Amino acid sequence: MFQPLPVFVGLRYSLAREHSFFVSFITWVSLLGVAVGVAALITVLSVMNGFESELRGRLLSLSAHATLSLAGAPITDWKAPLSQLQGSPGLTGAAPFLDTDAMLSKQSSMSGAIVRGIDPELEPQVSSIGDAMREGKLTDLLPGTNRIILGRMLAYQLQVGAGDTVVVMIPGNSAANGGGFTPRLQEFQVVGTFEVGLQERDSVIALVNLSDAEALRSLSGQPAFGSSSTMCSRRPTSHASRPHA
């Protein structure tokens, strides 16, 4: 019976005969080695792809696909840009934010942090922080209540939990004190913790209501420093960019 050349050669050297057992043995060992190598390669590639996807998801859990800002200056009316963004092709949500470098303390425990003011109603449109909550929920951040949600590692460093009080300290207005340094202090009640699985986020980020963040920086009645937006996730997140105005 006619057989294709690759099948003929394979059968010729894989089926042992009395005088060619050694050749057949070497052939089967080679086939087994190739099979094990291909299986290991497929396993490693699958693990790396899964790790990349998991890492990307954790990195973007607190970050939107795009951020709009005015080089650190307040946006005069953040509601206007957000209303203009609504309905844009591929846009799934937009929300304001206000980041402030601060020092958090609880008795003898102190730690540096980024206090981020958010709108609890709009934030779920641009991040998945709500899914990372371990205690409490974002809607607990009511305006004017001075409530705060800490990353799990940050709460551990300060040795605090839900119901405790922490002091947030930020640099004050030096011009009002003749050029001297006058820190501004404000107490916040811890109402929850979150964990995204990245130490650089869980040990640094603290969330407060946007109005409380504005009041902390004496920006009451002024806008947030930026707005973040999330694009439609039909395409891989790795292709998204973070432009700055």
Range of the domain at 48: 5-58
Q: Is residue 13 one of the residues assigned to a domain?
A: yes
Tell me what percent of the residues of the chain surpass a pLDDT of 90: 30
Q: Is residue 41 one of the residues assigned to a domain?
A: yes
Tell whether 174 and 122 lie within a shared domain: yes
Tell whether 47 and 163 lie within a shared domain: no
* Model pLDDT, residue 221: 47
Tell whether 49 and 163 lie within a shared domain: no
Residue ranges of the chain with pLDDT lower than 50? 221-227, 229-245
pTM attached to this predicted model: 0.66
Q: Where are the alpha helices (DSSP H) in 71-126?
A: 79-85
* Model pLDDT, residue 149: 95
* Model pLDDT, residue 129: 86
**Residues with Cβ < 8 Å from 5, sequence gap 6 or more?**
none
110-128 CB burial, b ≥16 within 10 A, e <16: ebebebbbbbbebbbbbbe
Tell whether 76 and 47 lie within a shared domain: no
Tell whether 136 and 107 lie within a shared domain: yes
Predicted confidence (pLDDT) per residue in 36-78, tens digit? 999 999 999 988 888 777 777 766 666 777 777 776 666 767 7
Tell whether 28 and 135 lie within a shared domain: no
Domain tally for the chain?
2
Q: Is residue 105 one of the residues assigned to a domain?
A: yes
